[in-house]
Amino acid sequence: MTFHESGVDRIVADDAFAQQAEPLVTLACGGRISLITWFRTPWQRGGSLTGYTTFRDDQGIEHQAVVKLPVAPCERLWLTRLQAFENVVPRLFAAGDALGGYDLAWVVMERLPYGPLDKAWAGAAIDLLIDTAGRFFAAVDTFDVDTAPPQKDWDAVFRLAQRNIKAHSLAHEHRWRQALKNAQRKIDSWLHVWRARDARQWCHGDLHLSNAMTRREPPHGPAVLLDMARIHAGHWVEDAVYFEHLYWSAPGRLVGRKVCSQLAKARRAHGLSNNDDWPRLAQIRRALLAVSTPAMLEHEGPPRHVEAALEVLEREV
């Protein structure tokens, strides 16, 4: 099942931007693409577009393809960089940083026939994601880290979390207030360790099942990763704990898997160092994500996830 076939996308054939963009993309590709069926997924914002087409290679072979525009410069950069590595990202057929005289990055890449990873793969979906994450970390490790990791204003996070607890009448308000009070006593020591971590690594930034697809039908793999727009400097446990935290309210869906440990093992298999302090860093990252939850209610899902974050925070404080 693809995104389009799932029925969650909206065809936008009459979109003015799509009508203007199509001949420009066709020209930029040297006439190698077919007519484009444009659509927007529910999570796309602004004027971004995605479209299905075919791409004709130098041998005259037609390949099923996806057009995306505009794409973030980060995504364009990493899709290009990672082409040399097997089963990490989709094959890139064409790309550019400008279109019709405008600074507008675009890509034409392989359309993967199966996915995103879901229950059709049963428990294998998580294993496939972790396997491809291991390949991803091995690939990006070959590139120098030339940026600083993102910084968060934790004083502002605490203030917003406290305001939201009251403004949104969160369940277990008293427990939240007490947990945040206890966390505030530990935050300096947490951040001392966290800021001293080895951040000379690249993180994917959005590691989850919906950002992975396959070329073979379920339950087979390997999977490849999508959405390179949030790659940033940091420590690999950020990706591991981010994926893990999506299941705080439904841990049974992990089918007994220890995400951080399994990803550490996958990294070791590729000859990468995990740093001896990674279990402590993972513990701190969980606490920081839990603290952030009331401050990010619009992104953090249903009440049961918020309650699960509270339970995580109470264990850490």
Q: What is the pLDDT of residues 299-312, one digit of tens each?
A: 666 889 999 999 99
Residue 206 phi/psi, 5-degree rounding, is -155, 55
Predicted confidence (pLDDT) at residue 1 exceeds the cutoff of 80: no
- pLDDT at residue 12 in the model: 63
State the pairing for strand pair 223-225/212-214: antiparallel
User: How far is the C-alpha of 316 from the C-alpha of 186, rounded, in Å?
Assistant: 10
Predicted confidence (pLDDT) at residue 264 exceeds the cutoff of 70: yes
Through-space distance between the first and last CA atoms of the chain, rounded to whole angstroms: 43
- pLDDT at residue 175 in the model: 95
- pLDDT at residue 7 in the model: 43
Predicted confidence (pLDDT) at residue 36 exceeds the cutoff of 50: yes
Predicted confidence (pLDDT) at residue 9 exceeds the cutoff of 60: no
Which range is least confidently modeled, 34-48, 76-90, 164-178, 211-225?
34-48
Instruction: Copy the structure tokens of residue 300.
Output: 């953090």
Instruction: Copy the structure tokens of residue 130.
Output: 């972790």
How many Å is the maximal CA-CA distance in the chain? 67
Q: Can you count the helices (H) and strands (E) in the chain?
A: 9, 10
With beta carbons less than 8 A apart as the criterion, state whether 221 and 214 touch.
yes
CA distances from 115 to 54, 78, 150, 285, 294 (A): 19, 21, 31, 29, 32
User: How far is the C-alpha of 258 from the C-alpha of 235, rounded, in Å?
Assistant: 18
Q: Between vectors from CA 291 to CA 286 and to CA 296, what angle results, nearest 5°?
A: 110
Predicted confidence (pLDDT) at residue 5 exceeds the cutoff of 50: no
- pLDDT at residue 17 in the model: 83
Which range is least confidently modeled, 200-209, 234-243, 252-261, 290-299?
290-299
Predicted confidence (pLDDT) at residue 120 exceeds the cutoff of 50: yes
Task: Quickly state the pLDDT bin for 85 (edges 50, 70, 90).
Answer: very high
Which range is least confidently modeled, 5-19, 48-62, 148-162, 194-208?
5-19
Task: Quickly state the pLDDT bin for 4 (edges 50, 70, 90).
Answer: very low
- pLDDT at residue 255 in the model: 87
Q: Could you tell me if residue 235 is left (phi over 0), alpha (psi between -120 and 50 degrees) or otherwise beta?
A: beta
- pLDDT at residue 42 in the model: 60
Task: Quickly state the pLDDT bin for 49 (edges 50, 70, 90).
Answer: confident
* Residues 6+ positions from 289 with CB-CB distance below 8 Å: 241, 242, 245, 309, 312
What is the share, in percent, of the chain residues with pLDDT greater than 70?
92
Domains of the chain and any CATH numbers: 10-110 (3.30.200.20), 119-316 (3.90.1200.10)
Q: Could you tell me if residue 169 is left (phi over 0), alpha (psi between -120 and 50 degrees) or otherwise beta?
A: left
Overall average pLDDT of the 40-66 stretch? 85
Overall average pLDDT of the 243-260 stretch? 94
Predicted confidence (pLDDT) at residue 46 exceeds the cutoff of 50: yes
Amino acid of residue 68: K
Average pLDDT over the chain, rounded to whole? 91
Instruction: Copy the structure tokens of residue 163.
Output: 């305001």
Task: Quickly state the pLDDT bin for 16 (edges 50, 70, 90).
Answer: confident
Q: Which 3 state secondary structure label does DSSP give 247? A: coil
